[in-house]
Amino acid sequence: MSMPLFIAIILVMSVLSLYLVARERAFRHVHVDDLLEKLAPINFDALENLMSNETTQFIQRHAPATQHRSLERERTAIAIEYVRGISKNAKLMARIGELASTSPDPAIANEGHELSTASLHLRLFTMRTLFRLYLRWMIPLFQDDFEPVSSSYRSVLAKASGFREK
Task: Check pLDDT > 70 for residue 142.
Answer: no
Q: Residues 95, 30: contact at Cβ < 8 Å?
A: yes
C-alpha 76/C-alpha 9 separation (Å) is 43
pLDDT band at 70 (very low <50, low <70, confident <90, very high): confident
Q: Per-domain residue ranges for the chain? A: 1-29, 31-161
- Single pTM value for the model: 0.74
For the chain, how many residues are written? 166
